[in-house]
Amino acid sequence: MNAMANQLPDWVTLTSLVILALAMLLALIGLFRGPSLPDRIVALDLIASLSIGFTIVFAVSSGNYRYLDIAAIVALVIFIGTVAYASYLKKKYYD
């Protein structure tokens, strides 16, 4: 599988990182300007997901696939955090 990473053109990696960085910038703007707490939580979840994307692109471009395990663990932690925030918001707004 490392041979496949060597065949990946540099422009693909660079384009992926630029797109992820632009999405991260827009998510940061949404985080700071979000009109409500749920909007800010969604923006924070998006930022965390984009950071996983950065990790995956780095793992594929470097050929070091150990980072994919880290990305999977971070994704699980983010999911648990999002469920906890949703539970908090449900109690706050609907109870």
CB 89 within 8 A of CB 37: yes
Cα gap 95→93, rounded to integer Å: 6
Total structural domains in the chain? 1
Expressed as residue numbers, the domain containing 40 is: 2-94
Please report the pLDDT score of residue 34 as a whole number.
Answer: 86
pLDDT (tens digit, 9 = 90+) per residue, 66-82?
999 999 999 999 999 99
* Mean of pLDDT over the chain: 89
Phi and psi for 63 in degrees, rounded to 5?
80, 5
> Residue 58: what pLDDT?
92
pTM: 0.83
CATH number of the domain at 43, please. Answer: 1.10.287
Count of CA atoms in the C-beta half-sphere (13 A) of 25: 6
Nearest partner of 48 among 78, 84, 16, 18, judged by Cα: 78
Return d(Cα 3, Cα 68) in angstroms, integer. 17
